[in-house]
Chains A and B, each alone.
Chain A
Amino acid sequence: MPDYALMNQRVFEGDRESVAEMTRAALEAGRPPLEVLEDGLIAAMRVVGEDFKYNRIFVPEVLLAARAMKAGMAVLQPLLTSSEGDSSAGTIVLGTVKGDLHDIGKNLVGMMAEGAGFQIVDLGTNTSAEEFIAAVREHRADILGMSALLTTTMVYMKTVVDEMRAAGLEHVRICVGGAPISQAYADEIGAHGYAADAGSAVQLFKRLVAPSAPPA
């Protein structure tokens, strides 16, 4: 039986080489990939998430752990069936809306969500509704995340929400964020979720893809 506690510890320490090596060793010892993923990597990231939430660790440690987890994932990925690979989290298309070039907050949301096991498709800044929709279709996204930092560009989120609906993508959960955005605004434009920071954004994403999440 691989020492999953030690492997968790290595993820926690952000030790990429050890994590990749221990993942390989566990597979060579005949453990099922899904078990290695769950007990070796995801379990560690769950603790990381909790520790961050309760201020026991800081942003850099979270990102280091996420990087270590990715090193393990890279070893596992080819062995996971596509449904297993998907079952770990979900796919999020992320971008800053048209006319807006602020991306620091969006990037943090992406990094933290990636750390929590989500697949991130980052469209960058100045993203049009057409680009969002094309990416959502191409990557079969579960969630579309939009960021806006300007009072003059936040209104474009409504356009995207409307066009997503018109494109028949009602099943995709839409989340919004950025300094001028509020829960009230999210509700007003018909988005499914709002989060005030990257930590709560990850909680939100998890809630939205959970099997018990309300259907579209």
Chain B
Amino acid sequence: MRPHLKMLERSLIERILDETFTVLESTGILIDSPAGFERLRELGLPGDDATRRVTFPRSTVERAIADAPSAFTLFDRSGEPFTELAGDRVHFVPASSALRILDRSSGEPRDATSADFVEYARVADRLAHIAYLSTAFIPKDVPSDIADGWRLYLALATSEKPVVSGAFTSHGVPRMAEMMSLFRRDREDLAARPNSIFTCCPSTPLRWAEDAIQNLLDCAGWGIPIEVVPVLLLGMISPATTVGALVLHSAEVLSGLTIAQLVRPGTPVLFGGAPASFHMQLMTNPMTAVEALQVYCGYAAIAKHLGLPCQAYMGLSDSKLNDPQAGAESGMGMLLAALAGFNSVSGPGMLDYVNCFSLEKLVFDDELAAHALRFTRPVEVKDDLPTRPLLDELLRENHLLTAEHTLERWPEELYLPGPMIDRTNWEQWDLQGRPDSTARAGELIETALEDYDVPPLDPALDAEIRRLFSSTCNEPGVELPALVERR
């Protein structure tokens, strides 16, 4: 059996869902956009003109859950199947959209450039346990109105792997979707062979803001897989307790899922989230807080119960540096995420409340991902039951190092971590010059950059995409940065 975290009784899940359906059916969701509100009414949802609240009849939500795929495939840049988000299959992915990056030489946060992004994408592309990419941070050397799409272009130009992304404005999705469809025969082909997951965020409590509802409608219209990501702050804009938070969280996710299915039945939707605690003194929003982790694992159980794929912001840290707190929070989050069976886990690389991205952390988290994934391997009998013959051999030989069973099994069973986990003894470590983890991460980054060998985009396609950006941004004709890595 695959090790699994079990934290909600089935009967409690059912009570939580009952209450969720009641909230959706009677309180409903505020749609903070006249056009969005109208559209939802056209789609058949009851709405109150005066309050602009839309309600979701239980049967509609249940049909939407049935229409939403329980699994879906992400395709690579060229349209080949890349991976399936299904069952308890876990993917670790860099967290998204940091405001800043942690500079590798100074150790200080700073604004990022396109060159920084290319460097990040090359490294992320090479990491064995980082399943696919995200638009991890925002380059500040392009006009701000195209920054969301530009980083997706940089990711697609640098790596063939799928990308988690999202739009920053109400008109952001169509331009990004146009660009992605240039990699396919046409729009329908993009929907059939998606290369990206887009984040859509309701505004807790129970509201879809103007940009967000437009993004959600556009993504569904294009058939782009969506992760619905509410950000509850426990005790502030959410009940402080787990069960109440799960009701609110589920209502918001299912509102997004239902809307997406009404627009285009079968649109892949991940039951996502980034719940955080609210720090009653500092007024900060730790997503790594232990009670938030309980909400994460709780909604994973609800998603599994409904047969929906799920996503989480776990494996990040609120520390400002790659220090013990960063390692501890990330490791805890990633192990729990793997045990809960999250299909897409956004977190690796991120520090400081989703505000700061660190490449060093990303390579460390790649190792943590390896650990978490290994822990969830099923525990099975492997020629070791009955055990007595093996024990007889051990007693006879004093060791099993050369036993046939060991020779056959150990390479698979005993994992040798990479350099980010130090397994030397003190003398070995001393002899190696006492490399600290920053130095080791730096070396891994350099190796990844040297090994990078993804073919560049077709020059005509590349030129077409650049034209799309330079002609549609609010500084038309602006010179956009070349695709070079920062060395």
Binding site for B on A (CB under 8 A): 52, 55, 58-60, 99, 101, 104-105, 108, 125-126, 150-153, 155, 179-180, 197-199
B478 to chain A, nearest CB (A): 15
B169 and A99 form a contact (CB under 8 A): yes
A7 to chain B, nearest CB (A): 26
B280 and A101 form a contact (CB under 8 A): no
A197 and B282 form a contact (CB under 8 A): yes
Q: In the complex where A101-B203, A101-B209, A179-B353 touch, is A152 in contact with B168 (Cβ < 8 A)?
A: yes
In the complex, whether B27 has a CB less than 8 A from a CB of chain A is no
A179 and B281 form a contact (CB under 8 A): no
Q: In the complex where A99-B169, A150-B168, A152-B168 touch, is A58 in contact with B280 (Cβ < 8 A)?
A: yes
- Give bound CA distance, A104 to B204, whole Å: 10
Chain B residues near A55: list those with CB within 8 A.
Answer: 281
Chain A residues near B278: list those with CB within 8 A.
Answer: 59
Chain B residues near A153: list those with CB within 8 A.
Answer: 144
B211 and A101 form a contact (CB under 8 A): yes
> What class of interface size applies to chain B in its complex with A?
20 to 34
Picked from A125, A152, A180, the residue with its CB within 8 Å of the CB of B145 is A152
> Closest residue to B99 on the A side, CB-wise?
A180
Picked from A58, A101, A126, A151, the residue with its CB within 8 Å of the CB of B138 is A151
Chain A residues near B281: list those with CB within 8 A.
Answer: 52, 55, 58-59
B179 to chain A, nearest CB (A): 18
What are 20 A-B contacts defined by CB distance under 8 Å?
Answer: A58-B281, A59-B281, A59-B283, A60-B280, A99-B169, A101-B203, A101-B210, A104-B233, A105-B283, A108-B283, A125-B209, A126-B210, A151-B144, A152-B138, A152-B145, A152-B148, A152-B169, A180-B99, A180-B100, A198-B283
Q: Provide the main secondary structure of the chain A interface.
A: loop
Tell me the number of A-to-B contacts counted with CB atoms below 8 Å: 50
B283 and A101 form a contact (CB under 8 A): no
> Closest residue to B353 on the A side, CB-wise?
A179
In the complex, whether B236 has a CB less than 8 A from a CB of chain A is yes
- Give bound CA distance, A150 to B210, whole Å: 16
B118 to chain A, nearest CB (A): 18
7 further A-B pairs in the complex, CB-CB below 8 A; given A59-B281, A179-B99, A199-B283:
A52-B281, A104-B237, A108-B283, A151-B111, A151-B144, A151-B147, A152-B168
In the complex, whether B246 has a CB less than 8 A from a CB of chain A is no
A152 and B147 form a contact (CB under 8 A): yes
Binding site for A on B (CB under 8 A): 99-100, 111, 138, 140, 144-145, 147-148, 168-169, 203, 209-212, 233, 236-237, 278, 280-283, 285, 353, 355
Chain A residues near B280: list those with CB within 8 A.
Answer: 58-60
Picked from B168, B236, B355, the residue with its CB within 8 Å of the CB of A179 is B355
> Closest residue to B285 on the A side, CB-wise?
A104
By CB atoms of chain B within 10 A, which of A58, A99, A151, A180 has the most? A151
Chain B residues near A126: list those with CB within 8 A.
Answer: 210
- Give bound CA distance, A197 to B111, whole Å: 21
> Closest residue to B284 on the A side, CB-wise?
A197
B237 and A151 form a contact (CB under 8 A): no
B217 to chain A, nearest CB (A): 16
Picked from B140, B169, B211, B236, the residue with its CB within 8 Å of the CB of A151 is B140
Chain B residues near A155: list those with CB within 8 A.
Answer: 144
A105 to chain B, nearest CB (A): 8
> Closest residue to A197 on the B side, CB-wise?
B283
A160 to chain B, nearest CB (A): 15
Chain B residues near A151: list those with CB within 8 A.
Answer: 99, 111, 138, 140, 144, 147
Chain A residues near B210: list those with CB within 8 A.
Answer: 101, 126
